[in-house]
């Protein structure tokens, strides 16, 4: 029996030992599990903290920065703070959030800008038509009254018109004016007249063909574009300096308008931006133009795209900026001969290498008779070389006297008048009866009769 007891004891001991071992193992396992769980929870906590930080970064830094970068391309957009602490999915989603915010801002901005442009377009169209009407009225007033203040008023009106028109163009409106084919020099003068400080603008006409003109549809757009370039040139240069405009025909059939100012010039950033705008980007937002908006180059850029001009800007040898506006050949034509150029249009400089007194005077007489010859149909024109009876008293009296003083010496005049007097006296003394009809033949104003009397007197002498 003893061995049975011993076996049972051993078995019990073995079982106890095994149980103890198991217990110890499971305890170790539990410990390890607990440790693992703790580590995992710590890691999860750390991830959460990191994620919260990233979200904070997203809300406070990245999205505002992304929105800012849309209007200020140089602004830095920060990325994830600690890329390693956030797993790939979260990082991608966070970046997507930035992207979505950016898209939303861009779309909204486009919508707001389009609405603003539409509103501006409507308003400026209305103002433009009102200003055009007042311009017409001022034009009539100018011919009725001699007050120079009407001229000033006209100028103010023109400045307002330019502003309105350029705003309209910027807001994708049609320039709002149909013209006929217009001589290039007249367009240049027209653009000059729309700019504050126009008296500082000097136009040099180097056209080979004086009657070179712009086709109707491009005439007003070119005037607007050039006016904007001139406005920039005068606004950014000293009031004592001159803004030089050179009108040139290119080797082909195009033409160049070159604007030089002696102004303050532009830094590289501004120049880059100007070139971007002048190249004619597909869309220019009003919000991109600053406050107050710098519309000049943007307007030129739009017209460049719409009408096929070309504009280049660079530093000018005169110290400021030089802008070159190229008009392609297909927009150019030549005016018909029946249309006379404006009296204000500068004549082409044919030999600018020899600026002597006679050289610029030489080309003048040629166009003059043609221009004067174009007028008589509509205006009374006097030609003193072939005398004719004229009813105008004050001017013609002076003119007759003038002509006689020029054409004969005092001695001749004396002789002829003495002969006339003598002849009259003779006639009266011979037959007192015939003096009455003789007096009827001599109305005092009729020059032809004066001449006849002179002849009579000479005959009798």
Partner 1 sequence: MTSGPGRRLIPAYLVTGGRTRPAGPALDRLAVLIRTDTDLPPDTGSEQRRLCELLEPGALTVVESAAHLDLPVSATVFLVTDLAAAGHLHTRPPIPSAGEIDRSLVERLLVGLRSLH
The nearer residue to partner 1, 179 or 450, going by C-beta atoms, is 179
Neighbours of 65 (CB within 10 A): 15
Minimum separation from the CB atom of position 280 to partner 1 (A): 25
Cα–Cα distance measured from residue 239 to residue 195, given in angstroms and rounded to the nearest whole number:
13
Can the peptide bond before residue 222 be classed as cis, meaning omega within 30 degrees of 0? no
The nearer residue to partner 1, 70 or 177, going by C-beta atoms, is 177
Minimum separation from the CB atom of position 114 to partner 1 (A): 29
The nearer residue to partner 1, 72 or 149, going by C-beta atoms, is 149
Length of the chain: 461
Minimum separation from the CB atom of position 299 to partner 1 (A): 18
In our burial notation (b when 16+ CB lie closer than 10 A, e otherwise), range 377-415 reads eeeeeeeeeebeebeeeeebeebbeeeeeeeeeeeeeeb
The nearer residue to partner 1, 189 or 258, going by C-beta atoms, is 189
List % helix, strand, coil for the chain (3-state, nearest 5). 60, 10, 30
Cα–Cα distance measured from residue 194 to residue 228, given in angstroms and rounded to the nearest whole number:
9
Minimum separation from the CB atom of position 358 to partner 1 (A): 9
Residue (of 332, 335, 395) closest to 371 by Cα position: 335
The nearer residue to partner 1, 170 or 223, going by C-beta atoms, is 223
The residues near 201 (Cβ < 8 Å, ≥ 6 apart) are 192, 195, 230, 233, 234, 242, 243, 244, 245
Q: Are strands 255-260 and 212-214 parallel, antiparallel or unpaired?
A: unpaired
The nearer residue to partner 1, 361 or 436, going by C-beta atoms, is 361
For 252, the 3-state DSSP assignment is coil
Cα–Cα distance measured from residue 384 to residue 98, given in angstroms and rounded to the nearest whole number:
85
Minimum separation from the CB atom of position 175 to partner 1 (A): 11
The nearer residue to partner 1, 145 or 417, going by C-beta atoms, is 145
Minimum separation from the CB atom of position 342 to partner 1 (A): 5
Minimum separation from the CB atom of position 418 to partner 1 (A): 27
Minimum separation from the CB atom of position 380 to partner 1 (A): 8
Residue (of 441, 455, 445) closest to 399 by Cα position: 445
Structure token digits, residue 394: 């004050």
Q: What angle do CA 157, 242, 262 make, to 5 degrees?
A: 115
Minimum separation from the CB atom of position 318 to partner 1 (A): 19
Cα dist from 358 to 344, 361, 363, 365, whole Å = 20, 5, 9, 12
The nearer residue to partner 1, 63 or 226, going by C-beta atoms, is 226
The nearer residue to partner 1, 148 or 292, going by C-beta atoms, is 148
The nearer residue to partner 1, 311 or 335, going by C-beta atoms, is 335
For 375, the 3-state DSSP assignment is coil
In sequence order, which ranges of 145-215 are alpha helices (DSSP H)? 149-170, 184-193
Minimum separation from the CB atom of position 257 to partner 1 (A): 15
Catalog residues that contact partner 1 under the rule CB under 8 A.
132, 135, 139, 142-143, 145-152, 154-155, 158, 177-180, 182, 186-187, 189-190, 192-193, 197-199, 223, 339, 342-347, 355-357, 359-361, 364-365, 368, 371-372, 375, 379, 381-385, 394-395, 397-399, 402-403
């Amino acid at each position: 029996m003893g061995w049975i007891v011993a076996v049972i004891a051993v078995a019990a001991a073995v079982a106890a030992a095994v149980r103890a071992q198991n217990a110890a193992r499971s305890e170790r396992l539990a410990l390890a599990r607990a440790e693992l769980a703790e580590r995992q929870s710590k890691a999860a906590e750390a991830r959460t903290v990191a994620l919260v930080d990233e979200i904070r970064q997203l809300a406070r830094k990245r999205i505002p920065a992304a929105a800012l970068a849309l209007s200020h391309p140089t602004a830095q957009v920060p990325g994830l703070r600690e890329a390693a602490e956030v797993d790939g999915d979260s990082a991608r989603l966070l970046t997507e959030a930035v992207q979505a915010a950016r898209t939303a801002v861009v779309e909204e901005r486009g919508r707001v800008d389009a609405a603003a442009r539409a509103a501006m377009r409507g308003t400026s169209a209305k103002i433009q038509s009102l200003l055009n009407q007042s311009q017409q009225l001022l034009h009539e007033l100018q011919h009725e009254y001699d007050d120079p203040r009407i001229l000033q008023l006209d100028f103010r009106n023109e400045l307002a018109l330019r502003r309105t028109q350029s705003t309209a163009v910027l807001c994708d409106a049609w320039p709002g004016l149909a013209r006929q084919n217009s001589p290039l020099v007249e367009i240049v003068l027209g653009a000059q007249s729309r700019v504050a400080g126009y008296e500082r603008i000097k136009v040099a006409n180097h056209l080979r063909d004086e009657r070179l003109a712009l086709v109707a549809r491009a005439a007003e757009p070119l005037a607007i574009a050039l006016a904007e370039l001139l406005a920039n040139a005068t606004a950014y240069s000293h009031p004592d300096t001159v803004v030089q405009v050179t009108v040139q025909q290119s080797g082909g059939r195009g033409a160049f308008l070159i604007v030089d100012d002696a102004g303050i010039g532009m830094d590289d950033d501004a120049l880059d931006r100007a070139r971007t705008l002048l190249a004619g980007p597909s869309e220019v937002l009003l919000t991109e133009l600053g406050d107050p908006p710098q519309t000049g180059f943007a307007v030129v850029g739009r017209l460049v795209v719409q009408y096929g001009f070309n504009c280049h800007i660079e530093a000018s040898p005169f110290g400021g900026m030089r802008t070159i506006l190229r008009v392609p050949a297909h927009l150019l034509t030549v005016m018909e001969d029946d249309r006379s150029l404006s009296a204000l249009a500068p004549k082409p400089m044919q030999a600018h290498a020899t600026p002597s007194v006679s050289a610029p005077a030489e080309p003048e007489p040629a166009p003059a008779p043609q221009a004067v010859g174009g007028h008589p149909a509509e205006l009374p024109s006097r030609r003193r070389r072939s005398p004719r009876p004229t009813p105008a008293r004050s001017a013609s009296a002076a003119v007759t006297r003038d002509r006689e003083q020029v054409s004969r010496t005092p001695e001749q005049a004396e002789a002829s008048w003495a002969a006339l007097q003598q002849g009259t006296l003779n006639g009266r003394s011979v037959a007192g009866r015939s003096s009455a009809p003789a007096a009827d033949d001599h109305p005092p104003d009729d020059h032809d009769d004066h001449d006849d009397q002179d002849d009579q007197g000479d005959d009798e002498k």
